[in-house]
Amino acid sequence: MKTAIITGTGMSGVFTASQTMGLPIFNSEPKNTTTPYGSIRYHIVSTGSRSFILVDRHYCTVPYRFPHMIDHRAYMYMLYKSGVEHIFATTAVGGVNWGAFQGKKVGSLVMPDDLVDLTAGVYTFADEGFVHPTAFYRSAKGLLCPQMQSLITDEAVLRGGVLTCIIGPGYETPAELAFYCNSIPGLSLLGMTVAGEARLAREMAAHYLPIGIVADLPLEDSSVDGEGVERAVKHAQVQVVKAILTAMGQLEGGQPSWNCDCQKKPAVFKCLE
């Protein structure tokens, strides 16, 4: 199976309640598997002739994992072993209307061009079990695949800017927000989970596209909480799923000839064979 969707906050139930949401009817089959990083729960979802793997990053290992507790390696390894090459991801983000990147509101969908990782996480498959002197040293150019972006045809989806990943689950202080705005050129979004997935997707030689769902506007209102974020994402569920399904349709005839950096080197696991 070549395609996967990774979901997060506020997206639960969207692939089971689709008949009442203006989406296709989905058939969802639960699966379990074991990886070197622990057991994983996921779903094989089908609609018509289209099938994909669905993973909820917060719920795929235990009842719930906070952003700073997620071991992204477990589900990303499962996606690699399943043959996935194209990964769409939804992520709740704070929309920073700053500098050249204005016009975001709660509910906006945004595809960032790049990311800055402030989580201090170690996002690599490299460990004592997977060792190679050169395979894990990879360029980070184009981690958020520009060719995948081109598949999103919904003109309402905003494009560009930098997604800055913070550790979570607590949100940024006003002083931290001012620091980010003044020190990160192109700052547009704040999130907590994309950096790990993007780094591991590069080691998998997979194309990775996160779509941020703006759940709060920290420069305008700093009173965000978890319930408000979940409500905002739920209101955008249908739009983001429709955009992804349309993009998937363009992949059904096989991957176009792409000139991105995602597969310039084989997956690290190929180098270990």
Q: Which domain holds residue 118?
A: 3-271
Could you give the CA distance from residue 196 to residue 37 in angstroms, rounded to a whole number? 14
Q: What is the DSSP letter of 95?
A: E
CB atoms closer than 10 angstroms to residue 198? 25
pLDDT at res. 20:
61
Which residue from 213, 210, 200, 115 is spatially nearest to 165, judged by alpha carbons? 115
CA distance linking residue 116 with residue 55, whole number of Å: 24
pLDDT for res 18: 60
Q: Which amino acid would we find at residue 132?
A: H
**Domain of 188: which CATH number?**
3.40.50.1580
Using CA atoms, how far apart are residues 144 and 211, in angstroms rounded to an integer? 10
User: What pLDDT shows up at residue 21?
Assistant: 74
Across the chain, which has 273 residues, the per-10-residue mean pLDDT values are: 91 73 87 95 91 95 90 97 97 92 94 96 91 93 96 94 94 94 96 97 98 95 86 91 93 79 94 86
pLDDT at residue 214, as a whole number = 96
Number of domains in the chain: 1
Q: Collect all residues with Cβ–Cβ distance below 8 Å to 62 and sequence separation of at least 6.
A: none
